[in-house]
Structure formats: structure tokens, C-alpha cells
Amino acid sequence: YLTSLPWDGYAIGGSLGNGRDELKKLLKWMMPLFDVEDRRDKCRHLLGIADVDSIHNAVVSGVDTMDSSYPTKLARHGTLMTKDGLIRIKRGQHARSYGVKIDFDCECSTCVHYDRAYLNHLFKSNEPLALQLASAHNLHFMNQLMAKLRNDVLEG
């Protein structure tokens, strides 16, 4: 019934599945339903997508747009996103990581101006600046990831 209404697009989600694998199966089943008649040209938006693997799977499955609080939620808890995986900056191993960038290839303002030891100190001191710098980094990471995925889609 809903697909017969004149929506600009379709929102998929809320809480889909009990994990990455179940979400992948659901999208594999659901996305072909949007690839018929007038549904083909409408935007497909996935609500509340989280981690990098799920985002990649959503794009490969044909999702056009998505939203997520994942990067800032991670940042609030002292976890930073990198191309090599997650860094838990509050751990003691980072207390003396002077001069070590969060992510060596990252050019965000946090990585350019601050090192892991300073962010560790900010989090351990409960400084609000820690949340801002970590969020700025994670959002930059996510923007770079999405730009790469968008380019991959355009190149086929």
C-alpha cells in the first residue's frame, strides 16, 4: 500500500535486524522491491545506520542516503574512527603518545593540531574540548568515507 502513495522517496528502518548480518539479509530482500516501475527513481533512505561495514553494505545494496549518530556517539565515549579501525583514546597506552596523530592519513583540524597524548589527557580530565575534537575528527572521517563511496558508485 505505501509504495502506491506519491512519496518523494522511501525511509527504511528504525530498527532493522539484530546486527550487521541480519541487516544485510533484510536489505538483500528489500532493495529489489524498490527496483520496479516508478519506485526505481525515488530516493531510498536508511535510518540510523551505524558502523562502517553497515554503511558500505547499504551503499552496495542500493541505499541512496542514510543518517547516523554513530560518529558523535563514539566520540562522546572516547572512541575515534580511523582507516585501521577504532581507537579507544582513553586507554593508558595513549597517555604518552606524543606527536602521534590519531590517523596518519587524516587532515582534519584535530589531527593537524593535536596528538593522541593530548586527547587522552583531555578525556581523562573530563574536558569538554575532548568531545568537540573527537567529534570533529569522527565526522571528518565519515565525510571522507562517504566521499570515497560516492566516487566508487560514480565510477561503477
> Which has more pLDDT, 28 or 48?
28
- Rounded Cα–Cα distance for residues 14 and 89 (Å): 30
> pLDDT value at position 13?
79
> pLDDT value at position 12?
86
Arithmetic mean of pLDDT, 124-133: 98
For residue 5, pLDDT over 90 is answered with: no
Beta-bridge partners for 10: 44
> pLDDT value at position 16?
63
pLDDT band at 48 (very low <50, low <70, confident <90, very high): confident
CB 59 within 8 A of CB 153: yes
What would the pLDDT profile of 94-124 be if each residue is shown by its tens digit? 999 999 999 999 999 999 999 999 999 999 9
> pLDDT value at position 36?
81
Q: Please tell me what DSSP assigns to residue 13.
A: E
- Rounded Cα–Cα distance for residues 14 and 50 (Å): 12
